[in-house]
Amino acid sequence: MDRTARIGTSTDDVRRRNLSGVLTLVHRHRAMSRAELTRRTGLSRSTVKVLVEELVEHGLVEEAQPTASTQVGRPSPVVRPQSRRLAIAVNPDIDSVTIGLVSLGGSVLEVTRRTTTGIPTVEQTVTLAAETIQQMRRQLAPDRDVIAIGVAVPGLVHAAGSMVRLATHLDWQDAQIGQMLSAATQLPTFAANDANLGAVAEHIFGRHANAEHMIYVNGGAGGIGAGVVVAGQLLDGAAGYAGELGHTYVGGLGTCHCGLIGCLETEVSQSQTYDSDFSVVAKTLDRQAQYLGIALGNAVNMLNPGLIVLGGFLRVFPSLAADALNDAVGRHSLRAPRDLVRVVPASLGSETLMIGAAELAFAPLLADPAAHYQQRIDGDHAVG
């Protein structure tokens, strides 16, 4: 038999894949009975029992008896994520660096926002983040530990190398944020575009109906970006640069930070939407909704989503400027795809980017739990 035909079919490979499937289901649903895990995975009850027990042994999930129900027969134990393995989320912006501590299941445990006197350089971002991460780790109980860092960057991030190619509002170019923060913390670090990570978070944890074809649009001090989910998978492009909705032409005359004319970001921005007290400036919303609707209408025509989720400062538009926004989307999209789409605010609120960045950090663990705890065992032996 050809050796390549056997790849991925060994007992060990099957076990790793099954462990990943069970842990990922528990992580994404936050609680799931053993019976439901059996149904979802297609595995036998005895196999699921063994897999869950292994994940419990290594501190990744825990089991509890279900609450009283009308179910006939012996109730199935409920499996939940443990909070012993944690991820760090980092989000640099033009006036701050936000650092969060997130557990499996997408639960944000702690958030610290470090304000800056000006736009932080990549070096300042690494210093502030590393200091805060060190403080967070010092306060953890002995049985808890941080496994990795995810960074949500408002800019173009090369997916393979976690390098920021261009973040115009931060004035970063070819910034090795992943490598630098990993060196400063001794933790694996992964970076990606903030809107892409927001899309992942809202798709997995937002509990939106019909979210398999979804566009998430994030509005922050560092501009506007979009993440696109197609058939349940993130559309990130050849190098991770997809979704720069903020730099699509909407007909304005202003010059954007990127050097182009008439970008969405020149007509819709946080500074225009809020006054100095961070109260919504209502009189500007309808005008901005017209430009936002042009961009969304074009996206509807091109991608045919069932759902558009607005995050960051854009969350206010579906409620405070709904008529103007819906009218603009309608005038700039074809009726057939327009009739299928809903425009809603992000359901995770201010935690969207923290959860999305943590999902990036958790990805290697979810893909191969066995490799994770084998590394821990090897590390313990090395220390001993």
CA distance 277 to 249: 30
Please state the φ and ψ torsions of residue 144, each to the nearest 5 degrees: -110, 145
- The model's pLDDT over 91-108, given as tens digits with 9 standing for 90+, comes to 999 999 999 999 999 999
Going by their DSSP bridges, the two strands 61-64 and 233-235 should be labelled as: unpaired
Q: Which residue has the tokens 């607005």?
A: 310
- Give the tokens for residue 172: 């970063």
- The model's pLDDT over 290-347, given as tens digits with 9 standing for 90+, comes to 999 999 999 999 999 999 999 999 999 999 999 999 999 999 999 999 999 999 999 9
pLDDT in tens, the chain (384 residues): 334 334 445 888 899 999 999 999 999 999 999 999 999 999 999 999 999 999 999 999 999 988 765 455 677 899 999 999 999 999 999 999 999 999 999 999 999 999 999 999 999 999 999 999 999 999 999 999 999 999 999 999 987 788 999 998 899 999 999 999 999 999 999 999 999 999 999 999 998 988 999 999 999 888 899 999 999 999 988 888 888 899 999 987 888 888 888 899 999 988 766 554 547 666 789 999 999 999 999 999 999 999 999 999 999 999 999 999 999 999 999 999 999 999 999 999 999 999 999 999 999 999 999 988 766 655 554 545
Return the CATH number of the domain spanning residue range 208-346: 3.30.420.40
**DSSP designation for 252:** -
pLDDT at residue 69, rounded to an integer: 58
Among 239, 169, 236, 231, CA closest to 203: 231
Are 167 and 153 in contact by the 8 Å Cβ rule? The answer is yes
pLDDT at residue 372, rounded to an integer: 81
pLDDT at residue 47, rounded to an integer: 96
Domains 3-81 and 85-196+355-383 share a fold: no
What is the third-level CATH fold of 3-81? Arc Repressor Mutant, subunit A (1.10.10)
What are the boundaries of each domain within the chain? Answer: 3-81, 85-196+355-383, 208-346
pLDDT at residue 16, rounded to an integer: 92
pLDDT at residue 4, rounded to an integer: 35
- Helix then strand then coil, % of the chain, to nearest 5: 45, 25, 30
CA count, 13 A, side-chain hemisphere, 249: 5
Q: Which residue has the tokens 């006054």?
A: 275
CA distance 39 to 53: 18
CATH architecture for segment(s) 85-196+355-383: 2-Layer Sandwich (3.30)
